[in-house]
Structure formats: structure tokens, C-alpha cells
Amino acid sequence: MPETATVLAGDCTTSFETTTGDERTQRGRVVVLAKPDRTVLVHDRSGYQPVTWLTRPDTLTVEADDDGFAVTAHDSGRTLSVRSHDAGEVVELPVGAAGVPVGECPEPDCGAAMVRAGGDVVCLGCGDSYGLPSGATVRDDATCDDCGLPTMTVERGDSLDLCVDYACDSLTEAVHGVLDRRFDCPDCGRDLRVREHRGRAFLGCDGYPDCETAFSVPAGVFAGECACGLPRFETATGVRCLDGACESDRPADPDAEHGP
């Protein structure tokens, strides 16, 4: 569910102090925004930049009664305080993530908009959140046939269309169908198997623990075989070997060919 932000407005004295002796005091009719992450922003009538602020302090207290309000934010070495000189106005409002719309929540009791906010797909109603793997593109033309959530395209050896809910479509299982046992371990010659660690797919030697060779699977599609025998991938930054340290995959040094 959305969290709550507090909006306060009134005739206030604002002070910002540091343990090094710096101090700044201002007075005026301002609007104060105390966000769920404890960030405090103090705005006057002009411009988009706050007159003072403190980002994600260690502590935040907001006190209000019929006579006015007080806001105090503190972290190591800095203190921001706001004291009103009148009753002012204090309002608590729901606030959540904002992002690019990608569909609607399929939950029967919700139906709110879903957005891509950073590396997650988030419902603006019930607050359900789904983490996206690196390089994923959320599709705006298809939903999952099983659960109705948005789908995404992920490149891991092939272009894979999957549900954003890992419990519905396992990325590791999809990569397994593309890369499992297709290549040999460069150190011992056994099969490279698709494994999973903390939700990320990698290729590890079938001889583990005797052989600990392992490679993360990059975000890209299969682009042929490297001279070392491992797969190469077309990624956002160019073609690379599965082994990021592979000498065979490095371009030749033109100066080395001609000598000094």
C-alpha cells in the first residue's frame, strides 16, 4: 500500500545547523514536505529548489497540535528544524512510486495502474512489486496468459518473453533451455550447467566442487562461438565472450603488429 507523506504550511522559522559550527536561519511562509524516507524539503514561493533540505536523515520527528507544528530531522553532524509561529496547516497524504505505465493490476480487488519505477514493476494500488532482471524491457502489448501481469523481454542467450513475476515464469528455467550443457568447461572439459545464485543465472561446471569454474550469463543474445570455445553474446555495449577476461576475445593491438 502507498506510504504517507506529511505536508505542513505556515509562518515558520527554519534553521540548519552542523557540528562544524555552520548555521543558517530563515523565516517566512513556507511549505514543508516530510517524505516516507524521512527526507525533509522546505519550499517558499519561488523556484523549484527548496530553500533548505535534509536528505534521508537518521531520525525525523513531526509534532503538531492546535497551536502549531515542529519538524526536526537529524543525522550525523547536521540538524534541520522547522518551528511554526501560527497554527498552520498539517495534512497527511498517501504517496507511492511513480513510473512509466505498463498496464493494470490483475488482482480482482485492485485493478490499479502498474508502472515501471527503476528496476521494479509496481502496482500503485495494492503495492505489489516485481523486481526486474538487468536489461529487461517491459512489454506494453502483452500480458501473462496465466496471471494477467505485464510481460517482459529478457536477453540471456536468446530473446525470452516472460512474466514479470518470477514465481510465474522462472528466468533460470528459461535460460536452462537455451544454454544448459551446450558448452564445455574450459578448465576440465565437463559440461557447463545453468545454475542460479540469488535470483541470477550463471553457467557453472558440472564437476563442482572439484572444478569451481563459473561465469555469469550476460544480458545479450548468442553471437557465435569464441576462439576459446565459449559462447559470445551481443550485448548493449558490444559483442563479448562469456568469459569477460578472455584473451581470445580482445581486439588485436595494431601497434603490436608493426612494432616500435
**Cβ(149)–Cβ(140) below 8 Å:** no
Spatial contact of 97 and 122, defined as CB atoms under 8 Å apart: yes
- Percent over 90 (pLDDT), the chain: 80
Looking at residue 118, its pLDDT comes to 84
Beta strands 150-157 and 220-225 are: parallel
Task: Give pLDDT, residue 251.
Answer: 55
State the residue for C-alpha cell 565459449: 230
Mean pLDDT of the region 164-176? 93
Q: 250 falls in which pLDDT band (50, 70, 90)? A: low
pTM of the model: 0.71
Long-range contacts of 129-134 (CB under 8 A, 24+ apart): 130/164, 130/165, 130/166, 131/166, 131/199, 132/164, 133/171, 133/199, 133/200, 133/219, 134/219
How high is the mean pLDDT of the chain? 91
For 197-232, the pLDDT digits (tens) are: 887 889 999 999 999 999 999 999 999 999 999 999
Q: Say if CB 155 and CB 133 are below 8 A apart.
A: no
In this predicted structure, the answer to whether residue 248 has a pLDDT above a threshold of 90 is no
Torsion angle, CA of 237/243/248/250, rounded to 10 degrees? 30
pLDDT band at 247 (very low <50, low <70, confident <90, very high): confident
- Residue 110 pLDDT grade (very low, low, confident, very high; cuts 50, 70, 90): very high
The domain segmentation of the chain, as residue ranges, is 3-95, 100-169, 174-241
pLDDT the model gives residue 127: 87
CATH no., domain 3-95: 2.70.180.20
Checking if the pLDDT of 259 tops 60, the result is no
Average pLDDT over residues 181-196: 95
Q: Over 90: is that where the pLDDT of 91 sits?
A: yes
Q: Which amino acid is present at 61?
A: T
Please give the distance of CA 201 from its chain centroid, rounded to a whole number: 18
Q: How buried is residue 43: exposed, middle or buried, by Cβ count under 10 Å (0-12/13-18/19+)?
A: middle
The whole-number average pLDDT for the span 6-17 is 97
> What pLDDT score was predicted for residue 257?
46
pLDDT-based confidence at 258, cuts 50/70/90? very low
Average of per-residue pLDDT across 34-49: 94
Cα(60)–Cα(95) distance, integer angstroms: 17
Residue 232's pLDDT is what? 95
What is each CA distance from 165 to 14, 105, 125, in whole angstroms? 46, 12, 17
Residue type, 169: D
CB atoms closer than 10 angstroms to residue 171:
21
Contact 61, 71 (CB under 8 A): yes
Across the range 120-128, mean pLDDT stands at: 91
Which pLDDT tens digit goes with each residue over 145-158? 999 999 999 999 99
* pLDDT given at position 256: 44
CB 147 within 8 A of CB 106: yes
